[in-house]
Amino acid sequence: MAKKYNEVTPEILEQFKAIVPGKVYAGEEINSDYFHDEMPIYGKGAPEVVIEATTTEDIAAIVKVCYENSLPVIPRGAGTGLTGAAVAVDGGVMIDMSKMNKILGYDLENFVVRVEPGVLLNDLAEDAQKQGLLYPPDPGEKFATLGGNVSTNAGGMRAVKYGCTRDYVRAMTVVLPTGEIVKLGATVSKTSTGYSLLNLMIGSEGTLGIITELTLKLIPAPKETISLIIPYENLEDCIATVPKFFMNHFQPQALEFMEKEIVLASERYLGKSVFPKQVEGVDIGAYLLVTFDGDNMEQLEELTEQAAEVVLDAGAVDVLVADTPAKKKDAWAARSSFLEAIEAETKLLDECDVVVPVNQIAKYLTYVKGASEKYDFEVKSFGHAGDGNLHIYTCANDMDEETFKKQVSEFMADIYRKAAELGGLISGEHGIGFGKKDYLAEFAGPVNMRLMRGIKETFDPKMILNPGKICYDPKEEA
């Protein structure tokens, strides 16, 4: 049964204004930036009200009003998502968490930091560095909120060595869809204390509760890093090298692959050429970009030599060492600007971020290329070679939106199926949100979807929190 939502009446609006005076925006007061995320092709929609969050208690009071009146509630961070998870596709009350952006304090004996959920990844990273600490998760988008990162279990470049956001969440405070406040987890690394509600909340994309405080694990920052640009003749050779990094215990902090086309796009965008296109007469088709970290530069240099020997032996055409801050910055600036570079030269854009077993990357990308040939859009891809998480972009400049959407939808269904066939999953780090829920339903199957739906109902008996996302869409049940 679909739930029926009510609309925000003038009386309810007054209740909100009484709870958080000056923080409530309705109708035309709402900035249209709130109507979409970074992938506008997934769901657009205007909330009836936007409220800037201030404290856990105020959020609880607001959610209680929504619960009593059956109003949809949509939590939103910086709006940098790529699946429409933070878009009000069913109207309702959007709670903007981005102003709850205080770093509340470090606990240097237990290596944790308490933060409000609106703190930006970049701000925590820089602040932790000043304490000699590293917050290891390093998603490409540095201006996402930490609450958003936790809500998608964001991964990023350093996941290959340090794991994903999930591995760094020790505890959180959550406002449930009923308006109740719960605390999950603790400042400890081990627990066997009942079902892991903490792990259930991580990656639930704001559909089970609103995260209002986080306790995150930090590690002592490695003192030194070295990056390597490793060119290959083709992608197959490039990907085939990846397991050797692990077998030889090289423990790269980051291990990214990129094909030539996307490097060219990025260099056009940045106006700077860093990656070699030809080495001793060999045309380069793909690259690995690798970072090692450690405390001792001598040891890192030794490791770099060993790694160079191994990759050259395994088919690399050359190894370029970026050991100065400027060189490292240039190499990684190219990688970091891929999405912006694509956006800059593309009118219509869609993407998927499947994850496949590492040894299936080359096979999978070959399939994707073949599958794309019958369509009118162009495909550009890059990704995390160390963990099999691939970002595949469909780009078009000369197609009408409807044709684009139709073609992409068919193509995506095809490549999601293939990812599943090779033992992969729908999303490595971007999430399901609004845009990918049909693919999730197909992949996960009816029994898993029934379990997710049951969990959703347990947390959210009136189904008001972030409807239309992951496993519940009132429109489909109408």
- Binding to a second copy, residues 12-71 (CB under 8 A): none
Which listed range, 27-35, 59-67, 239-247, 256-264, lies at the site for a second copy (CB under 8 A)?
Answer: 239-247
CB neighbours of 211 closer than 8 A, spacing ≥ 6?
75, 97, 117, 147, 150, 151, 172, 173, 174, 201
* Closest to 233 (Cα-Cα) out of 157, 312, 308, 303: 312
* Subset of 388-427 contacting a second copy (CB under 8 A): 388-389, 423-427
Q: What Å distances lie between residue 384 and 93, 135, 138, 355, CA to CA?
A: 36, 19, 12, 9
Pairing between β-strand 278-279 and β-strand 112-115 as defined by DSSP bridges:
unpaired
Instruction: Give, as ranges, the residues between 293 and 332 that touch a second copy (CB under 8 A).
Output: 295, 299
Q: Which of 59, 100, 113, 159 binds a second copy (CB under 8 A)?
A: 159
- Smallest distance, Å, CB 225 to a second copy? 14
Which H or E run includes 294? Answer: strand 286-294
Of 93-101, 240-248, 320-328, 371-379, the window that binds a second copy (rule: CB under 8 A) is 240-248
Task: Confirm or reject binding of residue 471 to a second copy (CB under 8 A).
Answer: yes
Unique residue bearing structure tokens 């998608």: 152
- Applying CB under 8 A, among 9, 55, 129, 189 the residue interacting with a second copy is 189
Identity of the residue, 40 or 454, whose beta carbon is nearer to a second copy in the bound complex: 454
| Residues between 241 and 280 with contacts to a second copy, criterion CB under 8 A | 243, 246-249
Among positions 406, 458, 475, 476, the unique one binding a second copy when judged by CB under 8 A: 458
CB 124 within 8 A of CB 150: no
Interface of this chain with a second copy, residues 323 to 382, rule: CB under 8 A: 355-359
The pair phi, psi for residue 329, each rounded to 5°, is: -60, -45
Query: 363: exposed, middle or buried (C-beta count within 10 Å: 0-12, 13-18, 19+)?
Result: middle
Q: Counting contacts by CB under 8 A, is residue 184 touching a second copy?
A: yes
Judged by CB under 8 A, which stretch of 29-37, 91-99, 151-159, 332-340 contacts a second copy? 151-159
Report if residue 430 touches a second copy, rule: CB under 8 A.
Answer: yes
CA-to-CA separations, 31 to 34, 46, 96, 327, 365, in angstroms, rounded: 6, 10, 12, 40, 40
In 3D space, the residue among 399, 267, 278 whose CA is nearest the CA of residue 333 turns out to be: 267
Site size with a second copy, rule: CB under 8 A: 81
The interface with a second copy within residues 194-233 (CB under 8 A) comprises 194-197, 199-200, 202-204, 208, 220, 222
Q: Is 465 in the site for a second copy (CB under 8 A)?
A: no
Residues in the chain: 478
90-129 residues near a second copy, rule: CB under 8 A: 107-111
